[in-house]
Amino acid sequence: MAVCLRLMDVRALVVEDNQVNVRLLLAMLKGKNITDIEVAEDANQAFEALQTGSFDLIFMDIQLPWTDGLQLTTAIRDHPLVRDSRIIAVTAFSTPEDRRKADAAGCDAFVPKPVRREELYRVIDEQLAARNG
């Protein structure tokens, strides 16, 4: 029960432009008892959301309109309110080179699409433990 209460206090930002993927991530996050979630469809909306305060977890699509998710991740790492957020790349591009680029941009973890619930939950647990530990 303590884990559920702790997860209810987690604040998450989903940066994703595909509505099917947004609905899927929202359902999975709510299934993990993460309910304080904001959604941004592009870099502009993401920066608007970042003005509202810190996020524990940021789920970053790499393929976004106008600014890609890696550029946005690099910019987030310079933002004072969220530089300590755990950024999880969520992408269909999952080659070792893609993972290296995500890591170099400042992503803390990588979840390939299609997103598998078990993999997402494992990464969430790891990232929250790293953030809190």
What's the confidence (pLDDT) of residue 108?
97
Q: Is residue 2, in this structure, part of any structural domain at all?
A: no
Q: Is residue 26, in this structure, part of any structural domain at all?
A: yes
123 CB neighbour count, 10 Å cutoff: 21
What's the confidence (pLDDT) of residue 72?
92
Q: Is residue 78, in this structure, part of any structural domain at all?
A: yes
In angstroms, rounded to a whole number, what is the distance separating the alpha carbons of residues 22 and 14? 7
Domains contained in the chain, number? 1
Q: Is residue 91, in this structure, part of any structural domain at all?
A: yes
What's the confidence (pLDDT) of residue 30?
96
81 CB neighbour count, 10 Å cutoff: 13
The CATH number of residue 63's host domain is 3.40.50.2300
Per-10-residue mean pLDDT, the chain, length 133: 56 96 97 96 92 91 87 87 88 90 95 96 96 77
Q: Which residues are CB-contacts of 10 (< 8 A; sequence separation ≥ 6)?
A: 34, 36, 56, 57, 128
What's the confidence (pLDDT) of residue 1?
32
pTM of the model: 0.91
What's the confidence (pLDDT) of residue 3?
43
What's the confidence (pLDDT) of residue 5?
38
Q: Is residue 55, in this structure, part of any structural domain at all?
A: yes
Q: Is residue 1, in this structure, part of any structural domain at all?
A: no
